[in-house]
Every structure is written in structure tokens, then in C-alpha cells.
Amino acid sequence: MGNCCGAQANVNPASRKPPSPELSKNNIKQDKSIKERSGSGSGNGSSNGGEKTEIAETGTIITPNLKMFTFAELKSATRNFRPHTMLGEGGFGRVFKGWVDEKTYAPTKVSVGIPVAVKKSNPESEQGLKEWQSEVKFLGKFTHPNLVKLLGYCCEDQQFLLVYEYMHKGSLENHLFKLGGAESLTWEIRLKIAIGAARGLAFLHTSEKTVIYRDFKSSNILLDGDYNAKLSDFGLAKLGPSDGDSHVTTQIVGTYGYAAPEYIATGHLYVKSDVYGFGVVLLEMLTGKQTLDINRPPGQLNLVEWTKPLLPNKRKLKKIMDPRLRDQYPLKAATQVAELILKCLESDPKNRPSMEEVLETLKRINEIKEKPNSKEAKAATTQPQPHHHRSPHRPKHGGTGAGIGARTPPHGRTGRRG
């Protein structure tokens, strides 16, 4: 089977899926984006085995050292992509758990060597190659404790695959919305996750060439066994503005409910557009509610619109806090998180804090430790701890993972997927 990367890199952008009708007024921006993609395409694929070692501004050493897997190896590592090994699903395709040798990354038997996550593009996805290239280009270059590690890739015929370190506790989305009530995350763990994710995003924004992540959402935040958060899914990441520009103009892709309003309205993508998405996820963590949910009453469908007026008021805030926290959080800290959310959700990107400021604020909030002193608080301390939780990775046919298709229409990715 021939390697397909080089041949396809130049032709694929023309087949880009058009934005959803609501966004089509921005089609005019599409050409520029396509050209940018084509330009960077040839350098991103199989040639990115990477001999170069660079040092990012933050001091992190970048040593691209990706393995090029054959399709047969990944088929073997995942037992032929057997459905019960499926960890999740997004717009790019399905993610399977596999096993490889720790040193050589050769496929091994189950429970021998190290577990890996293998993402396989949906053959019908027109975005497949571009997203695959983007992941290799960005994720393959960075080493950071809050970015998921890309181990290698495969590109054969029409198959695009990516191999990542396996994240034992799956996605934040699964923990917040898909597990039973008793299996909720504690306040401390939520803050730990928020701090980790903020650090990952701040790193991207301050690296040598600013990277805009563009698809910050709870299904793209993965958790290791100790609830360290790592950003995954760099399929939509984009280089930020240069030469003193405030934004880049690009085709609108991302996810409804998380994408910043200025980006949806104009196609102008700012570094601070990511900060808006961060604010939405922080709001989801505070309330335990998904950004868009058509099963909620009409006035509550959109979490941001519904809760924004409630966040500044302590009494109202208490009412919208995730009941699964069982009042086990310092109210002062929750109030400050609510203030931070409001700043992140400012409609003018200029008024939003930088991710470094967000990170510092979250660290300060994390210092607030006073505990509530109520009967419920005592009852809550007897609740099961998260590490006893059922694995969120158990496949559920027809709806597990992050597949946007399985969700309701307003949750769809803008111009993309899940």
C-alpha cells in the first residue's frame, strides 16, 4: 500500500466541506484559508518524521520524533479496530484503544506493553486529510505536560490515522455529562483540570508562533489517571496573526456553543477567541450542564445566554451550581470562578483576559480552601471518589464518545463535526 500523503496534500483543499448555511455569508473567506492550507500542506505529512529540534519561547524543547506506522500494524494493535475497543468518536472519526511495545511501538497483545489511542479518519470525511495534517503539524511538534502526546501516524491510501498516548480517564465531557450522578468530579479536581487546560492553552498562545486552538471544548480535554488535563484534537488548530495583526481571517469551523461570537459573525479569528471557548468550558464545569441542550426548557437551551445574568449574584449562582458538587466547594472560590467566566465571555475579544491571566487567576482561586460547614457537606464527604468510577470508555453503540451526529442539531460543529 502506497503512502498517500504527498500526492494528496496538494489536491485535497478544494474538496473542503462548505460551511453550514447559517455561516455561508463568510464563504468569501474560504479561498484564503484554502491557500494557507495548501501552502503548508506538503511539509506536514510523512516528511514530518522530524529531525529538527527547536526551542520554543517558553523553553520547551521540541523534538519531533514520530513513528510512521503501517496500517497493518495499527489494525493488529487494535484487534482490527474491534468495536469494543472504541474509546470515543468525533468528527474526524473513531478512536480505538490498542497496545504497542513501549520501546519499538510494534503491536502487542492486549495488556502487554503500553496502551495507545488510535484515531482513524472516517473515509467519508472530506476534512480528513486537512485535520490529520493539522494534528501532525501542531501536536507532533510540541511537548508539554498539558498537551496529549502524539506518538505517530499512518497514511496509506485513503486511510489517515493518528496514534496518541492513552488517556486513562477519557474526556472531560464524559465525566461532566455522561456518567452517573454519584460519579461526579469534586471541586478540587475540577479546578485542577481547569488549571491544566489553561496551562496548555496559554502555552499554545505564547509559543514562538502563536497557535490558536480553535476547538476548545470539553470533549477535547482528556484526563490521565491523576486527572491531569491534556488538550487533544488539533485538527482545527491554526497559526495566529503575525506582523502586528489582531486576527486571522479564515473559514468558520469549530463547534456551536463554544465558538466565539465574533468568529461566527465575521470569520475573524483572534487568540482571544480561544479564551471565549475556555469560558464556556469553565461554565460547564461550574454548572455541570452542557453548553447547548435542547432538552432544557426554551429559555435555558443556551447555557451562556441563560446563566450570564445569574453569575454575578451569589444567591442565584448557588442555584445553578452543579448539584453533584453537593455544596462541597468554597463559595468565595465559586464566586471568583463565575467572575472569571464573565470576563472570558466578554463580547469584545479585547476585553477578555489572556490565557496567562486566566491561569494566574485560577491558581489564586485554587488557594481558597475554606470548606462549607453544613449537614449536606458532611453527607457529601461520604460520596464515592472519582477513581472508583466506571470507565467512561465503555463503548455504547450508537451514541458514545463525542460524535456530534449523535447529538442534537444546535450542537453541531460549525462547518465540521464533533
Candidates 227-235, 268-276, 291-299, 342-350: pick the segment binding ligand ADP (CB under 6 A).
Answer: 227-235
Strands 413-414 and 67-68: unpaired
Q: Cell numbers of 125, please?
A: 470525511
Name the minimum Å distance from CB 57 to Mg ion. 27
Residues marked active site are found at 215
- Please, which residue, 374 or 391, has the CB nearer to ligand ADP? 391
CA–CA separation, 352 and 233 (whole Å) = 24
Q: Which 8-state DSSP code applies to residue 418?
A: -
Candidates 64-72, 150-158, 232-240, 347-355: pick the segment binding ligand ADP (CB under 6 A).
Answer: 232-240
Q: Cell numbers of 380, please?
A: 457529601
CA–CA separation, 303 and 222 (whole Å) = 22
Candidates 36-44, 66-74, 82-90, 369-377: pick the segment binding ligand ADP (CB under 6 A).
Answer: 82-90
Is residue 262 part of the contact set for ligand ADP (CB under 6 A)? no
Name the minimum Å distance from CB 156 to ligand ADP. 19
Is residue 87 part of the contact set for ligand ADP (CB under 6 A)? yes
What three-state secondary structure class fits 99? strand
Q: Cell numbers of 68, please?
A: 510512521
Candidates 20-28, 85-93, 101-109, 238-246: pick the segment binding ligand ADP (CB under 6 A).
Answer: 85-93
117 binds, among Mg ion, ligand ADP, none (CB under 5 to 8 A by kind): ligand ADP
**Residue 120, annotated ligand binder?**
yes
**Of residues 254, 287, 240, the one with CA closest to residue 23:** 254
Contact characters 106-145, ligand ADP, x per CB under 6 A: -----------x-x--------------------------
Collect contacts of 62-65 with beta carbons under 8 A, ≥24 apart.
62/141, 62/142, 62/143, 63/143, 64/140, 64/141
Cell 506582523 maps to which residue? 243
Name the minimum Å distance from CB 389 to ligand ADP. 14
> Applying CB under 6 A, which of residues 401, 411, 412, 414 lies at the interface with ligand ADP?
401
Is residue 220 part of the contact set for Mg ion (CB under 5 A)? yes
Is residue 91 part of the contact set for ligand ADP (CB under 6 A)? yes
Query: Looking at 259-308, which runs of residues are DSSP E strands?
Result: 268-269
Is residue 171 part of the contact set for ligand ADP (CB under 6 A)? yes
What three-state secondary structure class fits 206? helix
Question: CB–CB of 117/97 below 8 Å?
Answer: yes
CA–CA separation, 308 and 303 (whole Å) = 8
Is residue 219 part of the contact set for ligand ADP (CB under 6 A)? yes
- Please, which residue, 130 or 247, has the CB nearer to Mg ion? 130
**Of residues 95, 87, 118, 134, the one with CA closest to residue 234:** 134
Amino acid letter, residue 173: E
Q: Give how far the C-alpha of residue 57 lies from the chain's centroid of Cα atoms, to the nearest Å.
A: 23
Give the binding site for ligand ADP (CB under 6 A).
Answer: 87-93, 95, 117, 119, 148, 164, 166-167, 170-171, 174, 219-220, 222, 232-233, 235, 401-402, 418
Give the binding site for Mg ion (CB under 5 A).
Answer: 90, 220, 233
